[in-house]
Amino acid sequence: MGTSRSVHLYRPGEPGPETSDTERRQQWVRDGRWAAWIRNDAGDVSDWHHHADNDTYVYVSGGSLTFEFGMDGAEHVVASAGDFVVVPAQTVHRETTSPDADLEAFVIRIGGEPEHVRVDGPEPA
């Protein structure tokens, strides 16, 4: 985990790149890949974690979600409805749903097991 990784946010019309209580409706699972629709309550904050060897792709369809990552968790991106986010494998991060609205998103994860690894926090600066 000593390699610096970054969460990428893609917005419609812009060039890229520039768990808590979650309702998940799994759409499909196949050979280390899965896709699901998720809903988080407003104000939800996940634990610090990474997704091992899984790249994660998130399309936000409603609400907004802040991804914190980087050394000491000092970097962040805020994804709103219509945004597309890529979280590379091994990227330690946490997500916070806006306090103003529930989040709805479609998530695709490609890699394998384990799918979610809790950690104490981001790498110190």
Q: What is the pLDDT of residues 77-95, one digit of tens each?
A: 999 999 999 999 999 999 9
Of 92, 90, 95, 119, give the one whose Cα is nearest residue 107. Answer: 95
Nearest to 58 by CA among 84, 82, 35, 79: 84
53-63: average pLDDT: 96
Q: Which residue has the higher pLDDT, 14 or 88?
A: 88
- Residue 115 has a pLDDT of 83
More confidently predicted of 27 and 68? 68
Which domains, from first to last, does the chain contain?
Answer: 8-65+72-114 (2.60.120.10)
- Give me the amino acid identity at 120: D
Average pLDDT of the chain?
85
- Burial of residue 86 (number of CB atoms within 10 Å: 0-12, 13-18, 19+): middle
Whole-number pLDDT of residue 125: 83
- Please, which pLDDT band fits residue 15 given cuts at 50, 70 and 90? very low
- Tell me how far apart the alpha carbons of residues 22 and 72 are, in angstroms, rounded to a whole number: 25
